[in-house]
Amino acid sequence: MRFLARCALVLRRILHTDAFRREYLAFCTGVPPEAEGEISLTARFQDGSGDALSSGAVRVLRGGQSADHALKGGELRLAQLSRGEELTLILLDAQGAELGRTTVRFSTGAVIDASTDAAGTSFVTLKPDTASVDLVFTLRGDGALACALRL
């Protein structure tokens, strides 16, 4: 009995890890846990009424690095992003004051989707073969940037 209880404990520890869950879900759905490769992102920034924000900049926090990018026609293009990467986008006005922010988390799934939770975190799901994605970030009244797919 002690042997079986010990085996059950070992299996429980193995089965309750994030790595095992990712592999199990990949097996069940046929989708790799995180497809390797890089993606490019085109982001459009707009106010609550849908008008493009053409002045100012976006500060991108990525892998411990920070870089400011001027908005060109309300858009920002980023290349060579890792699918497992997390980045923070901070919208700045022309004087450099923060208007809004979001943290973008990428994942791989069976469909392409983008959404933002109540805390202002954006979740972008990409198909394994997706090489680029176009997103719209709308400035909310609470200072968050809401993320959606650009259709």
pLDDT at 13 (0 to 100): 63
Give the number of other CB atoms < 10 A from CB of residue 18.
Answer: 8
Cβ burial of 78 (10 Å; 0-12, 13-18, 19+) is middle
pLDDT at 35 (0 to 100): 47
pLDDT at 87 (0 to 100): 93
CB 100, CB 143: distance < 8 Å = yes
pLDDT at 25 (0 to 100): 55
pLDDT at 15 (0 to 100): 59
pLDDT at 138 (0 to 100): 94
Smallest Cα–Cα separation from 109: which of 41, 36, 34? Answer: 34
pLDDT tens sequence for the chain (151 residues):
577 667 565 556 665 555 555 565 556 555 554 445 789 999 999 998 889 988 899 999 998 899 999 998 889 999 988 888 899 999 999 899 999 999 999 988 888 899 999 888 999 999 988 999 999 999 998 888 999 998 8
